[in-house]
Amino acid sequence: MTNVHPEQIATGSTVDADEVAFFAGIADSWWDPKGPFKPLHQLNPTRLAYIRQEVCRHFDLKDTLRPYETLRFLDIGCGGGLLSEPLKRLGADLVSVDASEKNIKVASLHAEQSGLDIDYRNTTAEALADAGETFDVIVNMEVIEHVADVSAYLEACRKLLKPGGIMLLSTINRTSKAYLFAIIGAEVILRWLPRGAHDWNKFLTPKELSDALEAASFTPSAPTGFSFNPLGGRWSLSDRDVAVNYAMSAAG
């Protein structure tokens, strides 16, 4: 784990300081499509398609060039802003937060260079909830497997969601296939991700995530797989293949 100064990390019950320091340590690479965030770059079109499908269906929106124009979005654990930038381009009124100050600096600079005005903040879900902020849509992708306390995190997210809103989550299943692909494959063999990027024990099965969402007063959907086809090197949405990467939506 890379050490960063403690002041650079927002503290709170959901923050695992080692996890956040890990991301801060490689923050300069967020926008390098061949760097340690390569899997997120590759997954991005599929994740955005999932968000678009779910948000348009939930709010009965027309699938226009800027479908999100009427909605207030939160991108929680936004990292370098890989999702925030396309969400902003699709019209979202967006707040993007991360527990690492370094990530927020990298994300802000990149948005500025891209001509996008995104409200980036170095804070946590619980601090934002305490401040009384609320959102129509919460994008919560690849974060829950890195937080310190899943229940506290989801409770804070529930407070942040307006009645009638929707949260979109994605994470990694706790299966032997996920151990083989997401850890041995991605970290050890392909070296897409640095060693230690993921702790298999922190992965949640769809049933566990669904139960945790219900306990936090969300209404969870069935899981949708993000399925990787090694032949074309492509990701796609799948109703069946939830063995490694998957998404779930949660109505408020």
Ligand X SMILES: C[S@@+](CC[C@H](N)C(=O)[O-])C[C@H]1O[C@@H](n2cnc3c(N)ncnc32)[C@H](O)[C@@H]1O
Residues at the interface with ligand X (CB under 6 A): 14-15, 19-20, 23, 40, 77-79, 82-83, 98-100, 103, 124-125, 141-143, 146-147
**Is 19 one of the binding residues for Mg ion (CB under 5 A)?**
no
Residue 141 is assigned to a ligand binding site = yes
Nearer to Mg ion among residue 119 and residue 187 (C-beta): 187
Nearer to ligand X among residue 60 and residue 216 (C-beta): 216
Residue nearest to Mg ion (CB): 142
Q: What sign results for the dihedral spanned by CA atoms 9, 12, 16, 19?
A: negative
What six digits make up the tokens of 129?
């909830």
Tell me the window of 15-23, 24-32, 141-149, 243-251 that interacts with Mg ion (CB under 5 A). 141-149
Phi, psi of 102 (to 5 degrees): -65, -45
Nearer to Mg ion among residue 43 and residue 156 (C-beta): 43
Residue 121 is assigned to a ligand binding site = no
Give the C-alpha distances (Å, rounded to integers) separating 160 from 79, 93, 165.
19, 15, 10
Phi, psi of 61 (to 5 degrees): -95, 150
What is the b/e burial string over 86-108, where b = at least 16 CB atoms within 10 angstroms of the residue's CB?
Answer: bbbebbbbbbbbbbbbbbbbbbb
Do 40 and 141 form a contact (C-beta atoms < 8 A)? no
Residue 47 is assigned to a ligand binding site = yes
Nearer to ligand X among residue 62 and residue 148 (C-beta): 148
- Provide, rounded to whole angstroms, the least separation between the CB of residue 123 and ligand X: 8
> 98-137 mask for Mg ion (x: CB under 5 A)?
----------------------------------------
CA distance 173 to 45: 20
- Provide, rounded to whole angstroms, the least separation between the CB of residue 198 and Mg ion: 5
Report the partner that residue 51 touches, choosing among Mg ion, ligand X, none (CB closer than 5 to 8 A by kind): none
**Side chain identity, residue 124:** T
Quickly tell me which residue has 């019209």 as its tokens.
91
Nearer to ligand X among residue 56 and residue 148 (C-beta): 148
Nearer to ligand X among residue 26 and residue 242 (C-beta): 26
Report the partner that residue 40 touches, choosing among ligand X, Mg ion, none (CB closer than 5 to 8 A by kind): ligand X
- Provide, rounded to whole angstroms, the least separation between the CB of residue 83 and ligand X: 5
CA distance 173 to 54: 21
Report the partner that residue 98 touches, choosing among Mg ion, ligand X, none (CB closer than 5 to 8 A by kind): ligand X
The answer for 206, left when phi > 0, alpha when psi is -120 to 50, beta otherwise, is: alpha
Q: What sign results for the dihedral spanned by CA atoms 24, 49, 63, 114?
A: positive
Binding residues: 47, 77, 98, 141
Q: Which residues would be at the binding site for Mg ion (CB under 5 A)?
A: 142
Binding residues for S-adenosyl-L-methionine: 47, 77, 98, 141
